[in-house]
Amino acid sequence: MADNARAKRLADLIREVVAQKLQRGIKDPRLGSHVTITDTRVTGDLREATVFYTVYGDDEERAAAAAGLESAKGILRSEVGRAAGVKFTPTLAFVMDALPDNARTIEDLLDKARQSDEKVREASAGAKYAGDADPYRKPDEDDETDTGAE
């Protein structure tokens, strides 16, 4: 079992090598400039690496990019092995990163909350208190009412 620092260094190296190879070395048109490598994680035994990526575009472009990454997996793994110089080159698994979808969901929820706050603000703009503005009696007012009655 390798230590966590070594796995982190290998994950960083894999991310850099895969990103550079996708940008300059792969001629597949499905893997254009709209594929971004966001994160890489390596298991503790350094045998498997998960590469997270995002694709800017619609569902059709995402599916094409996933197929392109699967077809380029062997070339990318050999480049990682050449750059890493480890005894066993980790197998690569490509996973679509859910971060943009989660961010979009959070933004939608924040927009709904802003709209709801605006509705409450508009409804309370001309509102008045149901009773007096200050419904509590003050001690000096009690004294004045007691002295005036005697």
Q: Which of 18-27, 28-37, 61-70, 137-146 has the lowest mean pLDDT?
A: 137-146
Determine the pLDDT at residue 144.
56
Query: Looking at this protein, which amino acid is placed at residue 36?
Result: T
Q: What is the mean pLDDT of the chain?
A: 83
CA within 13 Å, CB half, 110: 6
pLDDT above 90 (res 104): no
Cα–Cα distance, 46 to 7 (Å, whole number): 6
- Mapping DSSP to helix (H, G, I), strand (E, B) and coil, where does residue 88 land? coil
Q: Three-state DSSP class for 38?
A: strand
Least confident of 26-40, 47-61, 100-114: 26-40
Distances (CA, A) of 142 to 12, 48, 145: 74, 79, 5
Distance CA 70, CA 112 (A): 39
Overall pTM surpassing 0.85 (yes/no): no
Q: What is the arithmetic mean of pLDDT over 44-53?
A: 91
